[in-house]
């Protein structure tokens, strides 16, 4: 894959709602996790966006029609388009794609309406429930907000959703189907029902997320959105714009096995396919933003996969940013793509926060606790999901 530029970045997370504030918090992390404001009785820490400037009133005249996940998506898309200095007037509207990943869209809406129906015994729910809860809503609202009329849809592959969306969007641009694609992921799942469901699964930590470390006890759920504007080289050149980087490869695989137990083989296949599409050798990857959830089972499997692909003694510098951001499920791949791209731009590997000591099963260097200067030309971002769905994407400096 060549000639697919990354022209703009937009990100909203618990640690920052612009690329600049997001990066500063990644490079110098401190805890942001706390009980959810809407349901502290659940008793688990989460990563919640508390900033007030989230909804894109400037482009959505009636934000009340949107679920929170769609609001986050539109706001991140707006920022990415601004970063790319791109408006609908700069494009042919039917040659702009919108591809959004989300693991479980409309969760806040469903929770709100079920509360009315089952707890408060109201006989009816809002007629807006279906439009707000449907998985495709985020893509529809981005297309509507900015007047884009090309392919627009959502991808739902659990925690790999956004990375799949970026790969699909890059393919559409590379093939010439579209000139521009807005892509990434969004998720807002911090309602009581979903949190209790994740707690019942036994994968949530009681205190903080410690990827790859000996004392890791689970993940921290978070909300957020991360969006990229991808653009063909010809389209960028015609408007005199120089993209920030290029998408050079993506790879996907399915474990075809256990729904919740990760497979190192499946992870390795996705990374290998991404390298193959990028026409790169393993030793040409300079940094990897790992999936790194901080659960007892994911991290050793990912370490085994990295060793299989890159060689036991040759794994590139890697780290997990989920110790700082939390795990935003379907949005995580979009947020982590932004993190990997900024790491490449700054020449700094962001740290794996909350690292409390090495685990013999995860004995790779993961930039524990403190960022390190590390010049980079090519970076990889990994997302490995429940259901055995794996995705990797590779970016390169132009």
What phi and psi, each to the nearest 5 degrees, are found at residue 183?
A: -150, 160
Strand 317-319 with 152-155, pairing: unpaired
Handedness of CA 255, 258, 259, 265 (dihedral sign): negative
Helix then strand then coil, in percent of the chain rounded to 5, is 40, 20, 40
Active site (annotated) includes residue 235: no
Q: Is 327 a catalytic residue?
A: yes
* 310 alpha carbon, distance to own chain's centre: 24
Specify the 3-state DSSP secondary structure of 193: helix
What one-character-per-residue DSSP string does 267-292 give?
HHHHHHHHHHHHT--GGG--EEE---
The residues, any chain, with a CB within 8 Å of residue 64's CB and separated by 6 or more, are: none
Q: What angle is formed at CA 111 by the lines to CA 297 and CA 58, rounded to 5 degrees?
A: 100
Buried b / exposed e along 185-218 (16+ C-beta atoms within 10 A): bbbbbbbeebbbebbeeebbbeebbbbbbeebbb
Q: State the virtual CA torsion across 211, 216, 218, 224 in degrees, nearest 10.
A: -30
Q: Can you tell me the distance from the alpha carbon of 379 to that of 386, in angstroms, rounded to the nearest whole number?
A: 24
Q: Which of 66, 327, 366, 374 is catalytic?
A: 327
Question: 326 near 222, Cβ under 8 Å?
Answer: yes
Q: Which of 32, 164, 235, 291 is catalytic?
A: 291
- Distance CA(117)–CA(9), nearest Å, equals 40
Give me the catalytic one of 154, 159, 183, 209. Answer: 159
Q: Do the Cβ atoms of 282 and 311 come closer than 8 Å? A: yes
- Of 56, 37, 315, 299, nearest to 190 by C-alpha is 37
Whether 159 is catalytic is yes
For tokens 């799942």, name the residue.
189
Distance CA 292, CA 1 (A): 27
In 156-290, the DSSP E strands lie at 180-187, 221-222, 224-232, 245-254, 287-289
- Catalytically active residues are 159, 291, 327
């Amino acid at each position: 894959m060549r000639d697919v530029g990354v022209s703009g970045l937009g990100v909203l997370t618990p640690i920052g709602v612009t690329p600049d504030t997001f990066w500063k918090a990644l490079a110098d992390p401190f805890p942001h996790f706390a009980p959810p404001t809407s349901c502290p009785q659940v008793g688990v820490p989460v990563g919640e966006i508390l900033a007030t400037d989230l909804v894109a009133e400037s482009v959505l005249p009636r934000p009340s029609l949107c679920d929170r996940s769609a609001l986050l998506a539109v706001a991140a898309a707006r920022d990415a388009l601004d970063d790319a200095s791109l408006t609908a007037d700069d494009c042919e509207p039917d040659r702009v794609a919108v591809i959004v990943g989300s693991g479980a869209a409309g969760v806040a809406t469903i929770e709100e309406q079920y509360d009315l129906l089952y707890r408060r015994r109201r006989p009816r729910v809002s007629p807006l429930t279906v439009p707000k809860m449907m998985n495709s809503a985020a893509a529809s609202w981005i297309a509507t907000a900015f007047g884009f009329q090309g392919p627009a849809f959502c991808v739902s592959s659990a925690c790999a959703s956004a990375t799949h969306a970026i790969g699909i969007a890059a393919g559409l641009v590379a093939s010439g189907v579209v000139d521009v694609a807005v892509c990434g992921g969004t998720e807002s799942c911090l309602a009581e029902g979903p949190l209790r469901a994740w707690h019942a699964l036994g994968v949530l930590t009681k205190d903080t997320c410690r990827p790859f470390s000996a004392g890791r006890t689970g993940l921290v759920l978070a909300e957020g959105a991360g969006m990229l504007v991808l653009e063909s080289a010809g389209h960028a050149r015609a408007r005199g714009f120089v993209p920030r980087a290029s998408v050079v490869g993506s790879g996907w695989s399915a474990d075809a096995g256990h729904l919740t137990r990760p497979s190192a083989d499946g992870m390795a296949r996705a990374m290998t396919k991404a390298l193959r599409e990028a026409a790169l050798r393993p030793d040409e990857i300079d940094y990897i933003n790992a999936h790194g959830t901080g659960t007892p089972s994911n991290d050793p499997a990912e370490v085994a996969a990295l060793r299989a692909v890159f060689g036991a003694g040759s794994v590139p510098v890697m780290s997990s940013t989920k110790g700082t951001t939390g795990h935003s499920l379907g949005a995580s791949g979009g947020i982590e793509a932004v993190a990997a791209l900024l790491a490449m731009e700054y020449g700094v590997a962001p740290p794996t926060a909350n690292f409390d000591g090495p685990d013999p099963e995860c004995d790779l260097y993961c930039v524990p606790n403190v960022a390190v200067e590390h010049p980079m030309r090519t970076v990889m971002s990994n997302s490995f999901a429940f259901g055995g769905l794996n995705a990797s994407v590779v970016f390169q400096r132009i």
